[in-house]
Amino acid sequence: MTRAAGRRYAAADARRAAIVEAALARFAQAGYLNASLARIAADAGTSAPVVVHHFGSKEGLLTAVLQAREERTAETFEPLREAARGDDVRALFRALLELAAHNLTQPGLIELYTRLSAEAGAPGHPAHAYFAERYERVVTLLADALTRARDAGHLHADTDPPAVAREILAVSDGLQVQWAFAAGRLDFVGLYRAHLDRLARALTVDGTGLAGPTA
């Protein structure tokens, strides 16, 4: 590759990244359905034909935005995956709290997620399959960990892991929506911690919260 070609590729990559950032912000602010390619292009300092050249369509741009979101959360998601491999439900819940706290440092991603997840309930929405798969993936991860904890004798025998997993996800997502509506003034982490602490006390055989039996 010549030096000139390398510069062209670098410029194209920078332009693509700028468009994705502009789309992320615009989708978070207005939602996917109300955001226009022309406005996104203007935010990125380019034109709608250039956006189409790089991403093919508005749907293609949405796919790129969702992929960028996945890449940004992959590293911070690893502690949760690690905790989910064991049978310590308190470690799992603490990892969920750490992830929630990290997510608050990226308010644009929370706003994007809450807006898109509401819109994507319609089967015809281009992000519908993404969110459906994401919910099932996270529920399975949590349910598998809860099942191991129950089978190891740490949780009550009548614990329903899939139901508990969906409850955890519902509370997390619901608090994110309320946090977005409250412009960040809601104590998301504090409320989520209180819920997980109550859940730990209700589910565990020893009846203790997040801090464990010595608390």
90 within some domain: yes
- Total tally of structural domains belonging to the chain: 1
pLDDT of residue 1: 55
What pTM did the predictor assign? 0.80
Express each pLDDT in 111-143 by its tens digit.
888 888 888 888 899 989 988 998 999 999 999
211 within some domain: no
42 within some domain: yes
Express each pLDDT in 1-57 by its tens digit.
565 555 556 677 889 999 999 998 888 788 888 889 999 999 999 999 999 999 999
pLDDT class of 82 with cuts at 50, 70, 90: confident
Express each pLDDT in 140-184 by its tens digit.
999 999 999 999 999 999 999 999 999 999 999 999 989 988 988
pLDDT class of 189 with cuts at 50, 70, 90: very high
213 within some domain: no
212 within some domain: no
Long-range own/partner contacts, residues 7-16 (CB < 8 A, 24 or more apart): 12/54, 15/44, 15/46, 15/50, 15/54, 16/54, 16/55, 16/64
126 within some domain: yes
Q: CA-CA distance, 100 to 40, in Å (whole number)?
A: 28
What CATH number should be reported for the domain holding residue 163?
1.10.357.10
The answer to whether residue 215 scores a pLDDT higher than 50 is: no
Residue 22 is part of which domain span?
A: 3-203
168 within some domain: yes
Across 75-95, average pLDDT: 85
27 within some domain: yes
The DSSP call for residue 155 is: B
